[in-house]
Amino acid sequence: MRSTLISALVLGSLAAQAAGKRSRGSSCKSLVTVTETITVTGLPPQTTANTAPGSATSLPGTPTSLSQSQAQPTSATNIETEEPKPTTTIVEQSSSSSVPSSSSESIAVSSSSSSIASQAPVSSASSVNPAASQTSTAPYASATEVDVKVPATEQCGIDDRLHFTSMPWTLSNNMYNSESMAGTQCTNFVRALQASDGTNLVEWTSTTDVQKIEDTADICKGYSNFGDGPDDKPRLRDIKSIPAYFKWSRSGEEDFKGAHIFDMMTSVEKDVGEQPNTKEFMLFLKIWGGQRAMGWNDGAIDTLELFGHTFKLYYGVHSTSGQQVFSLEPDTPFEGEFEGDLKEWLNLMVEKGHVTDDEYLNHWTGGVEIFYGKSTLSATSNLSLVV
């Protein structure tokens, strides 16, 4: 079988329907309403065919891409809301002749709301990311900067999304519940890297300054994420591996409520969003402020061993869409770094009978769900699909 690497770069807690809607897991329902997309070209190709990670689109963002949990009678309650119909804007910043886009997204060219390095208070491309400066898993420790022909970019618009056309990456500031948010949230591109084995990585930051208001404290405000691109959506049985990497440092942890997650959505139909015949699989890496997965109040349905950790598996159904959600919460959180093949996770879900291997993987994202707090995430990420 021909091996094709569909790189999905992660920069950042989210499945496009015909209108462009994407959903994200346990606590959030995410809508990708894109008011700006910057197109980027020029990334060197991967140097490996079957093992090198690399690309993404969120939905996003969403990614890429978040779903909300059902309302619960405890302080961990996460409230579902409906979002408006999304729109997508593509802003070209390269000589690329075309921009890949999901068939479910409308494309309209308009002015951008995101600023470039000279206007944004984010690190320049030559700056050192706190997360990247720590000791990383080889070969990521030796990753060097590559030119993707886009400057460091700040994205503070509630639907801003940065899209790289040379690789199907998306970095999304998907604040779909912004009407419940008092404050600001930005998802910022710092620079692109390439590891010694050819793996492509992205350095990015997520800066949160959202007030805690009692009436909205348990509403997920959105999903700062990286995720899948507009590539063909494969069946699970055709995927060889899903290499993933997420390294982070976070300031202001004591004031932050949210979670770092990976999120997958499958269906018997290709490229559909949240509905009764779709399933969402959420992998929590670390949780702040007491956020809980959908179904947590009902208790775990299983205990599983993955990636060197013990996880509790929770099950819930979205009250509005009927989509099933399977969430893994680790007994001991990951501290600052995750590396693993997410196909192992999906294989285990097939083995347990929660999904069949002939279903399509329609969305794959990673990032952070945001409730409230004043905190800054600095991350180096990758999410790839090898078929």
pLDDT of residue 293: 92
Domain span including residue 9? 5-386
pLDDT of residue 199: 87
CATH of the domain at 79: 2.60.120.180
**Residue 150: Cβ within 10 Å count:** 22
Alpha helices in the chain (DSSP H): 130-133, 342-351
pLDDT of residue 136: 57
Torsion of CA 222, 91, 22, 373, to 10 degrees: -10
Inter-CA distances, 119 with 114, 124, 194, 220, Å: 9, 11, 26, 29
pLDDT of residue 272: 87
The gap from C-alpha 160 to its chain's centroid, in whole angstroms, comes to 14
Tokens of 338: 């995750």
Task: Compute the distance between CA of residue 367 and CA of residue 355 in angstroms, rounded to an integer.
Answer: 23
Look at the block and give the residue holding tokens 């205990």: 303
Percent of the chain with pLDDT over 70: 63
Residue 75 has pLDDT above 80, yes or no: no
* For range 12-26, the mean pLDDT: 37
Give me the amino acid identity at 86: P
| Bigger pLDDT: 70 vs 214 | 214
Residue 20 has pLDDT above 50, yes or no: no
Of 344, 305, 365, 286, which Cα lies nearest the Cα of 313?
A: 305
pLDDT of residue 33: 35
Inter-CA distances, 191 with 17, 67, 235, Å: 31, 29, 32
Over residues 45-63, the pLDDT tens digits come to 443 333 333 333 333 333 3
Stretch among 183-192, 222-231, 360-369, 374-383 having the lowest mean pLDDT: 222-231
Mean pLDDT of the chain: 73
Backbone angles phi, psi at 7, to 5 degrees: -75, 135
pLDDT of residue 28: 60
Percent of the chain with pLDDT over 90: 50
Domain count, the chain: 1
* For range 151-166, the mean pLDDT: 88
Of 222, 147, 150, which Cα lies nearest the Cα of 187?
A: 222
Residue 160 has pLDDT above 70, yes or no: yes
pLDDT of residue 148: 84
Inter-CA distances, 138 with 6, 141, 195, 384, Å: 22, 5, 9, 17
pLDDT of residue 312: 98
Over residues 295-344, the pLDDT tens digits come to 999 999 999 999 999 999 999 998 888 999 999 999 999 999 999 999 99
pLDDT of residue 167: 63
Residue 220 has pLDDT above 80, yes or no: yes
Q: Is 342 helix (H, G, I), strand (E, B) or coil?
A: helix
Of 144, 142, 170, 133, which Cα lies nearest the Cα of 40?
A: 170
Q: Is 239 helix (H, G, I), strand (E, B) or coil?
A: coil
